[in-house]
Every structure is written in structure tokens, then in C-alpha cells.
Structure 1
């Protein structure tokens, strides 16, 4: 499934707009130069197509480029650390 990932830094998320909803990876920037990835969500009918993985990989790549330390309170993101 082709998916364009958008980084919405105002809302603190990476997202993929879908025909019926959106897939999202939410994060918070912390004062100690850390990003906390707190939640992933993919609508039920779009699950098991790799969308959450694409979002997490984009988020981790961005964090690396920004020189941020990474924390994950989201269980799904923890699998990638």
C-alpha cells in the first residue's frame, strides 16, 4: 500500500491520510532534547498493511536527523528500539 507520510509538527504527529480516516504516530518533545513516541493508531480496515511500521520508521528517522534522544511509551514503537 502506497502511503504519503506527512509530518505535522504543530500537532506533534506523523500521519497518513486514508480514504476512511488516518493513521497516526503521536509524539511529544520533552525539555531534555528527547522525543517521546506515545501512540500509534491505524483504522481497523487498514491494519496489517505496514502503515504503522512506515510511520514509526519515519518518526525514528526524523528524531535521528534532529539529534533527539528517543523514548517510547507506545508499545508498538518500543519494538523498534
Structure 2
């Protein structure tokens, strides 16, 4: 897979696809923070590291915008625990 993580602000989500399947990370922005609410990966894409790439790209985008992170999604919480260098959580 060579596709890049892309932000779809009209749908308030980051996307990463492979063919006709699309993994998404939903968010909202409030008070200088990007609030991650849900990550969804189609069954046929699971186990390939796509969700990890998706969240890494989403966090990079939030950081580039100067936004802190509020992880309400359990996958994002787990990602931040495994990658503390990426942890820009709001206090």
C-alpha cells in the first residue's frame, strides 16, 4: 500500500484506503485540540498495520496544526501508550 493518510474535513475524519476499502479515524476540533472519537478498519484490512499508519498520520497532522490530542477512541489511547513520543494529549 502506497496511499497516504488524508484528512477529509468535510466528514471530520482521516482516511487511508486500499482499493475499495477505507479505514477512517473520526475527530472533532475544539479548544485547540483534536478529539479522536472512533477508528474503524474494514475486516479485510485488519492485521496489516493500516490503523497504526492512519493514526500516526492523523497525529502528525494535528501536531503540524499546533493542536493537542484528546483520545476518546481506545485505539488512539493504545497507540499513544505504545508510542509515548507521539503523545500530545491535552491536560
Unpaired stretches in structure 2, ≥5 consecutive residues: 81-91
Structure with bigger helix share is 2
How many residue pairs get aligned? The number is 80
SS in structure 2 of the partner of residue 14 of structure 1: strand
The TM-score, its normalising length taken from structure 2, stands at 0.79
Unpaired stretches in structure 1, ≥5 consecutive residues: none
Quote the RMSD (CA, aligned, Å): 1.3
The TM-score, its normalising length taken from structure 1, stands at 0.87
Structure of higher RCO (CA pairs closer than 8 Å, 6+ residues apart): 1
SS in structure 2 of the partner of residue 70 of structure 1: strand
Task: List per-residue Cα deviations over 1:5-63 (Å, max 9, x = no partner).
Answer: 22112211111233242111111111x11110111111111101000000100011111
2:62 alignment partner in structure 1: 63
Structure with bigger strand share is 1
